[in-house]
Structures are given as structure tokens and as C-alpha cells.
């Protein structure tokens, strides 16, 4: 299964430092879920529609280290070929999820930074931040 991953420069180091400061990575879970929900909403607008099953199958996931958009394979096994294409079957890619994320990159970046600032404020309140 193909997947696109956006990485945040220094994210691994940030997670290590947050852990050392006593901040749970679970604190980012809500922000990641909100980001994934935002992308799903836009991806649903951009999804190709025949029956609506693909559009309606998109699900957001927020985890400690990532935001994820999924289209469950059992429900819509054609999701990957529609999104990424399948040249041997003459299916051209329609990267509607990727396009949705890219179209909102500025807002997503601001949401992520806001979540990090909130965590840093928690550290400040505990006197752990230098």
C-alpha cells in the first residue's frame, strides 16, 4: 500500500525533549486528530463520486506521533488505485487526499504550532522549560 508522509523537521528530537520534560506525547493526539479531520473534510469535497462510497469511507486518525487519513480497504478496496493510479489498468491518479492536505498546509502548520506552543506553556507552568 502506498502512502504519503509529511515529516516535521526535528519532530523526533522534539518528542524526545518533550518526553524528557515529562510531557506525554498523548498531548499531541488531539491536535493530530483535528488536523486529520480537517483534511478528511476537504478530501471528501475533492473525492471522485460514482456511488459516494469512497468519499464516505474516509476516516481521520489522530495518534501521538501522527495524523492519518484512511479509506478502509475492505470497504473500498479500489481507494488506492483511484488515488495513486494504476497505469497497467489505465487508471490515472486522482490524488484528492494529498491535494486536500496540500491545499491546507498553512492552516495545518498553524494548528500544529499552536499545539506545540500549548505544550511548551504547560512546561513553563511546571518550571521545566529553560
Q: Is residue 7 part of a domain?
A: no
Q: Is residue 126 part of a domain?
A: no
Mean pLDDT by 10 residues, the chain (130 residues): 58 74 77 96 96 96 90 90 95 96 94 86 62
Q: Is residue 28 part of a domain?
A: yes
Radius of gyration of the chain (CA): 17
Q: Is residue 122 part of a domain?
A: no
Q: Alpha carbon 89 to chain centroid distance?
A: 29
> What range defines the domain where residue 38 resides?
24-117
Q: Is residue 113 part of a domain?
A: yes
pLDDT of residue 6: 58
If one counts the domains in the chain, the total is 1
Q: Is residue 124 part of a domain?
A: no
Q: Is residue 17 part of a domain?
A: no
**What are the C-alpha distances in Å from 37 to residues 10, 40, 42, 63, 79?**
24, 5, 9, 12, 18
Q: Is residue 87 part of a domain?
A: yes
Q: Which helix (H) or strand (E) holds 56?
A: helix 53-57
List, as one string, the DSSP characters of 31-48.
HHHHHHHHHHHHHHHHS-
Amino acid at each position: 500500500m502506498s502512502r504519503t508522509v509529511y515529516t516535521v523537521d526535528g519532530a523526533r528530537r522534539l518528542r524526545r525533549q518533550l518526553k524528557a520534560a515529562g510531557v506525554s506525547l498523548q498531548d499531541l493526539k488531539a491536535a493530530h486528530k483535528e488536523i486529520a479531520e480537517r483534511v478528511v473534510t476537504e478530501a471528501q469535497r475533492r473525492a471522485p463520486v460514482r456511488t459516494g462510497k469512497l468519499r464516505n469511507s474516509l476516516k481521520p486518525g489522530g495518534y501521538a506521533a501522527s495524523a492519518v487519513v484512511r479509506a478502509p480497504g475492505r470497504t473500498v478496496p479500489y481507494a488506492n488505485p483511484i488515488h495513486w493510479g494504476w497505469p497497467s489498468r489505465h487508471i490515472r491518479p486522482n490524488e484528492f487526499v494529498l491535494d486536500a492536505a496540500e491545499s491546507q498546509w498553512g492552516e495545518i502548520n498553524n494548528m500544529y504550532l499552536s499545539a506545540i506552543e500549548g505544550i511548551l506553556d504547560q512546561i513553563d507552568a511546571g518550571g521545566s522549560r529553560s
